[in-house]
Amino acid sequence: MAEDLVLDSAIRDWVLIPLSLVMVLIGILRHFVTKLMRSSQPPDIKILKENQVVMRARNLRTCANLIPAKSFRSRRVYFSNEENGLLYVPKGQAQNPQAQMLTDPNMATDMMKKNLSMIIPQTLTFAWVNFFFSGFVAAKIPFPLTQRFRSMLQNGIDLSTVDVSYVSSRSWYFLNLFGLRGLFSLILGEENALDDTQRMMQMGGFGFDPTKSNVTDIMACPIPSEEKLIT
């Protein structure tokens, strides 16, 4: 069980290096394709205005004690009165951003475009790797690992006797797929289209409604007393 496998140097020359190279090239290609497909949609006046209102309200909230109390009160009414306040959203009318996303076809196509540019090359390369390089060991990592890593490193070879530090070709593909982000940010700059983490962050922010939290904040904001004003 412990005997060393001898890896043919042809495997290195014809599998390991080409596979990594292809992954990098595909990543770069994908970057440019997404860049091409990204539609520079004109900013929507409603969203733009909303953002500006929120920004101004936030300023008001943080610097409330820097202006006279009278001015602050009039602004607070302007933002949050119940008739036509800019930030006032009647109860129940507040649109769920997820529902909003479904109704907005533009957003949906945009998402689809992004996803397509992710999925298509990924399935193609996966099929390609599966077809040509499946089922053999392509590399060995220089340190021992526990059995838990077997499914990660030896995807595609069902041999329980091989030492875990050997990496199968399909696993090498996966390692490249997830591990090249650092390289891409070096090659393509920080703002590359391939950064999945950022997209995740955006997804995480979906349930959050900035307007709502601002209304409550402003309402809760104490009226600054005259003493608080910088004297």
Partner 1 sequence: MVGFAEEGELNRLESQVDNGGGGAWEYLSLVRKLKVRRSEKVLKHGLSILNDPKSRSKLGPDEWTLYEQVAIAAMDCHKLDIAKDCVQTLSKRFPGSTRIGKLEGMWLEAKGSWAEAEKAYSRLLEDNPLDPIIHKRRVAVAKAQGNVSGAIELLNKYLEVFMADHDAWRELAEIYVSLQMYKQSAFCYEELILGQPSVPLYHIAYAEVLYTLGGLENLNTAKKYYASTIELSGGKNTRALFGICLCSTAISQLTKGRNREERESTDLQSLAATALLKEYKQKAPAKLPSLSSVLKSIKLPF
Which residues in this chain contact partner 1 in the complex, by CB under 8 A?
A: 42-43, 45, 48-49, 52-53, 55-56, 59-60, 63, 66-68, 71, 75, 229-231
In the complex, minimum distance from the CB of residue 60 to partner 1, in angstroms, rounded to a whole number: 6
In the complex, minimum distance from the CB of residue 51 to partner 1, in angstroms, rounded to a whole number: 8
Residue 65: partners with Cβ closer than 8 Å, 6 or more residues away:
224, 228, 229, 230
DSSP assignment of 79-125:
HH-TTT-SS---TTTPPPHHHHHHH-HHHHHHHHHHHHHHHHHHHHH
State the burial class of residue 110 (Cβ atoms within 10 Å of its Cβ: 0-12, 13-18, 19+): middle
Q: Looking at beta carbons only, is 52 or 123 nearer to partner 1?
A: 52
Q: Looking at beta carbons only, is 65 or 171 nearer to partner 1?
A: 65
In the complex, minimum distance from the CB of residue 75 to partner 1, in angstroms, rounded to a whole number: 8
Q: Looking at beta carbons only, is 49 or 212 nearer to partner 1?
A: 49
Q: Looking at beta carbons only, is 66 or 177 nearer to partner 1?
A: 66
Q: What is the 3-state secondary structure (H, E, C) of 30-89?
A: HHHHHHHHCCCCCCCHHHHHHHHHHHHHHHHHHCHHHCCHHHHHHHHHHHHCCCCCCCCC
Distance in angstroms (rounded) separating the CA atoms of residues 145 and 143: 7
Q: Looking at beta carbons only, is 56 or 114 nearer to partner 1?
A: 56
Per DSSP, the three-state class of 137 is strand
Q: Looking at beta carbons only, is 93 or 231 nearer to partner 1?
A: 231
In the complex, minimum distance from the CB of residue 228 to partner 1, in angstroms, rounded to a whole number: 11
First CA to last CA across the chain, in angstroms? 81
In the complex, minimum distance from the CB of residue 211 to partner 1, in angstroms, rounded to a whole number: 14
In the complex, minimum distance from the CB of residue 47 to partner 1, in angstroms, rounded to a whole number: 10
Per DSSP, the three-state class of 223 is coil
